[in-house]
Structure 1
Amino acid sequence: MASKTILILLLVALVVASPSQLPGYHGSPETPANYEFQYAVRDGNDYGHHETRDGDYTQGSYTVQLPDGRIQRVTYTVNGDSGFVAKVTYEGEAQYPAYA
């Protein structure tokens, strides 16, 4: 019974705690987002992603190697509430080898 009471008190404390007291929280909703990240994988199937954000403006691109040998590149922006605006391009020629 004591363990149930402690568990309930712990849950109540988490619900009542302000966001700045919660683990992993590093800002407030009023703080504008500002970051940049990038990754790339080259292991026979090349793909990657790069993105930057400054406040409400986000831009980035990602690439994927398609099964037909082409590279698909998606370049995108998000400006406030404008939504996700993407431009999709393809590099290379599609290859369809004969089935053996």
Structure 2
Amino acid sequence: MTQKAALMMVMVVGVALAAPSDPYGPPPQNGYQSGMPHNFAYTVRDEYAGTNFGHSEDSDGNTVQGTYNVDLPDGRKQTVTYEADHSKGFIADVQYYGEARHPDQYNPPVTFKPQSYGQPQPSYHPQPTYN
């Protein structure tokens, strides 16, 4: 019985040692990988919902520069211009344009009363069949 247990232990240790210790490979030598150059831009303007915002960004692989803007609910426009890299970190300049406007009076929230539809009726009425 002890021979079987010892053999089983040797097999478990052998399987554990045979498995790769790091399936993803060694980490990069400098601690981080250099960035990928990229640039993008988008704008969303929905008159019905009242949304207006956008974002653009450009990177050479080391430094990222960008700006984004949004129309705020109080009527102002917020614009953030930023720059980020590994030595200076993230630096942002936030600007507001326009004057905050608040309504003179607030209306009560819009609510809807629940409707009672009664018991749901099936749209298909199967007829019994007799064999």
TM-score range, shorter chain: 0.5 to 0.7
How well do the aligned residues superpose, as a CA RMSD in angstroms?
A: 2.3
Counterpart of 2:94 in structure 1: which amino acid? V
CA drift of 1:81 comes to: 2.7
In the aligned structure 2, how far is the partner of 1:94 from the partner of 1:17?
Answer: 53
CA drift of 1:80 comes to: 2.5
In the aligned structure 2, how far is the partner of 1:33 from the partner of 1:82?
Answer: 18
- The answer to whether the aligner puts 1:79 opposite 2:85 as a matched pair is yes
Greater share of strand residues, 1 or 2?
Answer: 1
- Equivalent position SS for 1:38: strand
- Structure with max Cα Rg: 2
Specify which of 51, 72, 75 is matched with residue 69 of structure 1. 75
What residue in structure 1 maps to residue 59 of structure 2?
53
In the aligned structure 1, how far is the partner of 2:43 from the partner of 2:105?
Answer: 31
Q: Which ranges of structure 2 fall in alignment gaps of 5 or more residues?
A: 1-18, 26-32, 107-131
Query: Identical aligned pairs, as a percentage?
Result: 43
CA drift of 1:57 comes to: 0.6
Specify which of 39, 42, 45 is matched with residue 42 of structure 1. 45
Counterpart of 1:16 in structure 2: which amino acid? P
- More RCO (CA 8 Å, sep 6+): 1
CA drift of 1:16 comes to: 2.8
What residue in structure 1 maps to residue 16 of structure 2?
none
Greater share of helix residues, 1 or 2?
Answer: 1
**TM-score, scaled relative to structure 1:** 0.67
CA drift of 1:17 comes to: 5.9
Following TM superposition, the consecutive aligned residue runs of length 4 or more in structure 1 with deviations greater than 6 angstroms are: none
- Equivalent position SS for 1:46: strand
In the aligned structure 2, how far is the partner of 1:35 from the partner of 1:80?
Answer: 17
